[in-house]
Every structure is written in C-alpha cells, then in structure tokens.
Amino acid sequence: MKRSYQFSIVGRTSKAGAYSFFFLLFVLFSCKKSKDGSVDEKPRPIVRLDYIEVEEHATGGHLYLYGSFGDSSSTSKIKINDSWLSTDPTTLNGHIISWKTNLIKCAIQTATSAIGHGKISVYNGGGKSSERILNVWEGDIIFTRPDAGSIKREIRFHVYLRADANTHPAISYLFTPQSSFASTSKAHYSVGGQGSSTYNDGSCLVSMTASLSTASGTIPIRIPFKNSTGIPEYFQCKMRFKNGKFEIKDLDVWKKDVSTRTILVQSCPGSSTSNFSYSLPTLHSGLKDFELEFEPNTKIIKAGQKTAQGSTEMGLIWNNGQVPQYGCSIKWDRMIPRYPS
C-alpha cells in the first residue's frame, strides 16, 4: 500500500519548526522504497560470516561456518564460487546439514573438486554475507630413512590441506575439530638397496650382507584416524589448523609384505642365506609430529624439515654391538595456496 505524506506550514515558521520539517524530510528520503515508490518497512537482515573450519572425511569434508545468520528459512542458502548448497542431501554439490543462528554445518566435496574450495558466502532472508575464502594447499612431505650401504626407505606424502587462513574476530564457541589431510592425499613408498657388516664371533670374522628387493606402491589416506591394529596397510594423521598454522600429529604409514629382505652370512664353517618378508615400517617416533607454518605476511607454507637418528632395520651385526646410527628426516616443500590473497 502506498503512503502519501503532506506537510503544511501555517503562518510564520519558527526556527524549531523548520528543524523538525527538515528532519522529517531526511527520515523520509532515508527510507528504502520499493519500485512503485512505497516505503519498504522491512529492512533486509544483516548476515555475517566470520570464519570457516573444515573437518575432512573419507568422501569430502564437513564445513563449519561461524557468524550471525538468523533463523533457518526457505531462503537459507550457501554459495561456493558459482554453486549453491541447499538442505537437499541428494545435491551433488553438497548440502546444508544444520543451521543455527551462529553456526552452520555443511557437507562439501573433496579438496580437488571445483567446489571443494574458494569463495563462500551465506544468504538468508534477502541478506547476504561478505565472502570468505576456503583455501587449499597441495604439496609433498617426504620421509627418508637410510640404512647400511645403499639401503633406503622413502615415503612421499602427496597431501592436500584446506583452511580459512584469513584473520577473523575472536569466536568464543570455536571448537576446531580434529581433522586430517584431505581425502585425495596419498602416500607413495619406495624401498630397496644392499648393505653389509662384519663382526668377530670369537673364532673368525663373520661377514653379513643384507639385500632389500626393490618395491614401490601407493597407499591412500584413511579418515578418520583409527586404531591400526590388524590393518594390512594404512596412512593417516591428525591435523588442526590453529593459531595460523597446521599442527600435524601422529603421521604414520605401514604396509604388510611389500618386499623381501635377504641375509647372506659368511663365516668360518661356511655360508647361509635366509629370506624374510619385509613390511614397510612405521615412521620414526620423533618425526610423527610437526607444524607447517606460513612465510611472514603471506599464506605460503614455508619449506622445512625435522631430523632424527635411527639404527639398522636389516638385522645386521657389528663388533661389540656397535650399530651405526643413520640420520632419517622428514621434510616438506614450499606450498603455494590456490588463493594467495
């Protein structure tokens, strides 16, 4: 319904009356009007998106949106780049799982999907939030474990990480769920080489040669993190993005029967050869926990490494039990975010 407004000034207008008149004009022209000129008495709600967190799972991820969104309504939607999420769980793009006035939970696609990252905004009741970026990083984390001679074990973790790395206001109910590398991450392993040792058994010099047959393969990540007892293979970790960095804990990989370890022993009475099945060992305990930090004033993960010492895994023996120590390491490349700013 249109409203008309009429004003008349009778007689001499006082100074106070003039102020009142111009104030009314200001109020009227400040009102939002519809296309037909009538005053719209219902302003659009303010929708605010303050921060985003991701909880990775086996087929994608759960997205947690923090802010002020109003009550759920028929107009409640989430936009990721140019795609929409609704409450329909059959939507291929993902869907809204729950909507609270200050927290929204959604199911989204994998980190390599076109809508598994990017610009995210919230719509409700005609209002729209500003956009925030769900960023993604891709890179390699390499574990190297040398042994006697040319024997070597290497695991190259090709990983994807997702997070909202932009600054955000303090949020008292932020719960930062335990997550993981994204479901598209994989561990590529390679083993092989030969090494030897000698020792005196009291009667003669004994020579030992260990050969590890060359083998390689790929292990997909397992999400969520579980007890690994009885599992024939696994690659898993715990991860949180907190205080502007990725905290990695309990990174590990294991696979049963990947290669054959052959031990040749030559001593005074003669020689013997033994073959053993070789399972890919777990990581050195000192290299399972580390942090991925950004270069100053950027969202680029800076390269880094962590080192530890370990003895032979081949069963070789040296004089007086003096087993050499071999330096093993885990290092990671510099990782450029998909959205630098």
Q: What is the DSSP string of 165-212?
A: -S-----TT-----B-S-TT-EEEEEEEEEEEEEEE-SSSEEEEEEEE
Cβ neighbours of 216 (radius 10 Å): 12
The pTM for the full model equals 0.84
Q: Is the dihedral of CA 241, 247, 250, 253 positive or negative?
A: positive
Amino acid at 57: H
Q: Does domain 48-130 have CATH number 2.60.40?
A: yes
Contact 77, 85 (CB under 8 A): yes
224 with 238: CB under 8 angstroms?
no
**Domain extents in the chain:** 1-43, 48-130, 141-332
- Nearest residue to 141 (alpha-carbon basis) of 111, 112, 164, 161: 161
For residues 315 and 196, give the distance between their C-alpha atoms in angstroms, rounded to a whole number: 10
Say what percent of the chain tops pLDDT 90.
Answer: 74
Mean pLDDT of 192-220: 95
Please tell me the distance from the alpha carbon of residue 177 to that of residue 66, in angstroms, as a whole number: 13
The pair of structure tokens assigned to 235 is 């690659």
Place of tokens 């990695």: 248
Contact partners, residue 92, CB within 8 Å, separation at least 6? none
Q: Kindly report, residue by residue over 45-83, the tens digit of the pLDDT.
A: 899 999 999 999 999 999 999 999 999 999 999 999 999
Q: Are strands 94-99 and 132-146 parallel, antiparallel or unpaired?
A: unpaired
**CA 164 – CA 80 distance, rounded (Å):** 13
pLDDT at position 3 is: 42
pLDDT-derived band at 16 (thresholds 50, 70, 90) equals very low
- Is the pLDDT at 90 greater than 90, yes or no? no
How much is the pLDDT for 36?
Answer: 52
The predicted pLDDT at position 24 comes to 38
Alpha carbons 117 and 60: distance in angstroms, whole number: 11
First-residue to last-residue Cα distance in the chain: 47
Quick one: pLDDT at residue 266?
94
Higher pLDDT residue, 33 or 225? 225
